[in-house]
Amino acid sequence: MEEQKNNFKLSKVNWIFAIIVIGISSFVFLKKDGINGYSLGYLVGLIVTAGIIPLIFALVVWLIRGRVPYAGTYTFNIVLAILCLGIVKEIGAISMERSNSIDEISKSVSSYKDSLSNNGDPDRAFDQYSSTFQKNLAKLINNSSGNEQEVYKKLLEFFTNNQVVMVEWQKSYDSVMNPRILDYSILNSSEELKYQVNVLEHYKVESESYKRNFITRKSRVKELFKNIPENNELLQGVMTGISKKDSVQKPVFVPLIDTHIEYSKNLISILDLLEKNGQGWTYDNGQLFFESEEIDDKFTGIIQKVIENEKIINELTDKLIEVM
């Protein structure tokens, strides 16, 4: 009598269990990442990879047990259940780390605001904030996948681009605050005048660049995220947050940076006035003297504008810190 051979095959229970697991996983993943070609392909890859592991274990056990019926099917369900528990545990750990990263970013913003409000070192405060933000955003990138990961990557790119513009502007402003600028005791040579005009011109150019970068940030964000589905929940949250911040920051920032631009122009006007009247003024004992009353009046008028610029800059800077 011919010996009956048992072929390896999954039972109905295996298929039902696998379908339930795949269904729940798909719902959770697609709800978070949105339904699109990228996320569907990524999900299929995960399912295939995850499904191979319990299938291999089931086949090995079935062979070791001498092809006993149901030896492989029981193993399949057990391994799949263990994988699910492991995935759930890993998701919990990742979720906790994500939450911690977001908390750290929020704390860094608060610390940055406090430092600026308390007249701390702005450069050091920004460096600390920038370092914390980038470090924790990198963690969010490592702990995410699919379109969610792409959102975090684009956010990092957006932040990095803004950082470059802001740092360059801050350097130009710091150069203007150098005691050398508008030190009348050394403004007695064409070389020094030229140097100081260049410093102020650079400050004006960087201020204009900073303004352009700020007022176009929403459109630049949309361009960065153009390949990510609009129904992605993380993207929707990011865009909502950026829109809210833009609505409260722009009414303060635009007049602030406009005043910086006007301030640079008025400072340049002072140097132009001194250069054009090189033989008509002297600086002695901490005071500037003009031979012509007309030139003296022009100088006084410009100085009054500069003082008003500085007052507005200080007021609007405080307001901008409040809405950060």
- Identify whether the C-beta of residue 67 lies closer than 8 Å to the C-beta of residue 5: yes
Average pLDDT over residues 27-31: 62
pLDDT score of 289 more than 50: yes
Give the global pTM: 0.72
CA distances (Å), origin 53, targets 20, 79, 138: 17, 8, 30
- At residue 169, the pLDDT reads 94
Are 147 and 233 within 8 A, CB to CB?
no
pLDDT at residue number 3: 43
Query: Taking 80 as the threshold, does the pLDDT of residue 100 lie above it?
Result: no
User: In sequence order, which residues have a C-beta less than 8 Å from that of residue 222 and are 6 or more positions away?
Assistant: 239
Please say if the pLDDT value at position 86 is more than 70. Answer: no
Residue pLDDT, tens place only, 180-215: 999 999 998 889 999 999 999 999 999 999 999 999
Which stretch, 12-16, 147-151, 300-304, has highest mean pLDDT? 300-304
pLDDT higher than threshold 80 for residue 12: no
Residue 114's pLDDT is 75
pLDDT bin (cut points 50, 70, 90) of residue 315 is very high
User: For the segment 108-121, what is each residue's pLDDT rounded down to a tens digit?
Assistant: 777 777 777 777 77
* Alpha-carbon gap, residue 309 to 256, rounded angstroms: 9
Report pLDDT digits (tens) over 264-278: 999 999 999 999 988
What is the pLDDT at residue 15?
66
**pLDDT of the residue at 312:** 96
Residues near 83 by beta carbon (within 8 Å), at least 6 away in sequence? 50, 53, 54
The number of beta carbons lying within 10 Å of the beta carbon of residue 205 is: 15
Cα separation values, 135 from 141, 152, 266, Å: 10, 12, 41
Mean pLDDT of 306-315: 96
Q: What is the mean pLDDT of the chain?
A: 80
Indicate the burial class of 250 (C-beta count within 10 angstroms; 0-12, 13-18, 19 or more). middle
Residue 283: strand pairing partners: 288
| Residue 174 clears pLDDT 50, i.e. is over it | yes
Distances (CA, A) of 101 to 89, 149, 257: 18, 14, 32
Distance CA 152, CA 221 (A): 12
Task: Please state whether 90 falls in left (phi above 0), alpha (psi between -120 and 50) or beta.
Answer: alpha
pLDDT the model gives residue 119:
73
Average pLDDT over residues 169-179: 94
HSE value, Cβ hemisphere, 13 Å, CA-based, for 9: 5
- As a whole number, mean pLDDT of residues 130-148 equals 82
The residue ranking higher by pLDDT, 83 or 162, is 162
Q: Which pLDDT score, from 0 to 100, does residue 61 have?
A: 59
Looking at residue 77, its pLDDT comes to 65
Strand partners, 281: 290
Q: Has residue 233 got a pLDDT over 70?
A: yes
Please report the pLDDT score of residue 142 as a whole number: 82
Looking at residue 1, its pLDDT comes to 39
pLDDT of 2 reads 43
Other residues' Cβ atoms within 10 Å of the Cβ of residue 112: 22
DSSP string of 132-182, one letter each residue? HHHHHHHHHHHT--HHHHHHHHHHHHHHHHHHHHHHHHHHHHHHHTSTTTT
